[in-house]
Amino acid sequence: MKTNFTLPLYILTLCLTFNSIYLHTASAQEPQIIGGYLLDGKDSFEELEAAVLTESKSKVKNLGGKGMKLPGGSIFMTPESVGKEIGSIVKTKHQFLVKAISFTVEENRMEGCKANLRIYRMESDDSLVNIVTIPIYQDIPKATEETVFSIAPEESIILQPGEYYISFCLSEISREIMDKWAEAETWSEEERFDKYRQDRIFFPLYLKSSYTRERPDQPLTRWGVNIGLTIYGTRGSI
């Protein structure tokens, strides 16, 4: 038996800073601030050793999970989010051959958007090692319709048993928009609100923890929601 219930509209903004999350409900007067905690870690880069992977007969599966999608909820980013990362920590007990990384954009109001998808191995000291040698980029065209992106890496990426941080970074937007937002500190509250409405990209909101950081040299901050970034692949052995 199904029970009907109504949820308020939630909009989670990732635009001002990754040090705080502003959770708005349709009836709220002021945003609530949801804090997180820090994980110490430094970013480094490692060239992968060559390996030959023999795929098993197992089907393609996703590593980890998105969590429950919040009806009517959205996460959005603005030009102030460029260069910042949001993603999930996943674990594998076996070798895992990455086939694709997937995410959904509900609407994009900005020209020239490009995403950079990253995979880091988490070390015992919580440092992060970048295991992608050929950057994974995806252009995100301006659109009012929902679009699902599934990007296959140009190289064979084999995850050894362990934990990994899979992240989405809004790496580029159009120069025209960047130039406009260079004057953001001079805007009034009304002007800023108007620009937020014009220049942003929307993602679905899922109720499962994600991890964010302002720059690769900063530690991760844990949040209670995510954008549904998913990594697909197959189990294999050398």
Domain ranges of the chain: 11-237
pLDDT digits (tens, 9 = 90+) for 107-127: 999 999 999 999 999 999 889
Of 146 and 7, the structure prediction assigns the larger pLDDT to: 146
- Categorize the per-residue pLDDT at 32 as very low, low, confident or very high, splitting at 50, 70 and 90: very low
pLDDT at 57: 55
pLDDT at 196: 86
pLDDT digits (tens, 9 = 90+) for 41-90: 333 333 333 334 444 456 888 888 888 998 888 999 999 999 999 999 99
Residue 138 has pLDDT above 80, yes or no: yes
- Categorize the per-residue pLDDT at 216 as very low, low, confident or very high, splitting at 50, 70 and 90: confident
pLDDT at 30: 30
DSSP string, the chain: ----------EEE-SS-TT-EEEE-TT-SS-EEE---EE---EEE-PPPP---EE-SPPPEEES---EEEEEEEEEE-GGGTT-EEEEEEEESS-EEEEEEEEEESEE--TTEEEEEEEEEEPTTS-EEE--SS-EEEEE--BSS-EEEEE--SS--EEPSEEEEEEEEEEE--HHHHHHHTTGGG--HHHHHHHHHHS-EEEEEEES-EEEESSTTS-EEEES-B---EEEEEEEE-
